[in-house]
Amino acid sequence: MSAKHWTRLLVAVALAFAGAALAVRSEGSTLAQTQLRGLTGVNVAVHVSGELEDREGIETFVRQKVEEYLRRSGIALVATNSETMRVEINGARSSCVGGEPLVAIHVAAKLIEHVSLRRDPSSDVPGGGAITWWRDGTKMCAEKGARQTIETAIDYFLGAFTDEWKAENPAAAKVRRGSSLN
């Protein structure tokens, strides 16, 4: 086989693995499920880096999508709470297939909570807290499909988060969903 055929074969294999990675890499802490009990609301933080950093409106789009998803699920958005749902998006350009530029997109959704030492509760843990829930994954897609890939990952990861939150807070989920405050 020629070098061109080998390149195409390698790209096809990489795409097959990357396509499955989003679903396969969606593990998180099972302990975190019980840590969601009593969670009343979250801040939202979004960080976009790599090739996607300079894309017009991507950070705003992601923030609006995350906030809308949380509100719709009954989770309050608060500005004074120490719990933060942090969504990180990173993109890296790859080679072209048939003239179409590809981008590898990594999406991570993390619940970061304030923690302190048991032996000295007045001591805060540096770094803004600890990650108590997370999901992440990487997917390769056509560059023009980056926004849709990000939206799908947010739906998937925040769907898992809100399902676990509702399971641990069934009464709060019912009350808040009917509220006009969120």
C-alpha dihedral, 98 to 21 to 128 to 54, nearest 10°: 10
Residue 156 has pLDDT above 90, yes or no: yes
Percent of the chain predicted with pLDDT > 90: 36
Q: Which of 49-58, 140-149, 151-160 tops mean pLDDT?
A: 151-160
Beta bridge partners of 89: 48, 107
pLDDT in tens, 160-173: 999 999 998 888 76
The pTM of this model reads: 0.74
E-strand spans in 51-129?
A: 76-77, 84-97, 100-113
Residue 57 has pLDDT above 70, yes or no: yes
Residues in the chain: 182
Query: Domains in the chain, start-ordered, CATH in brackets?
Result: 3-177 (3.40.50)
pLDDT in tens, 117-151: 778 877 766 666 788 899 999 999 988 899 999 99
Residue whose C-alpha is closest to residue 117's, from 109, 129, 106: 129
Amino acid (1-letter code) at residue 45: A
Amino acid (1-letter code) at residue 169: N
Is pLDDT larger for residue 115 or for residue 164?
Answer: 164
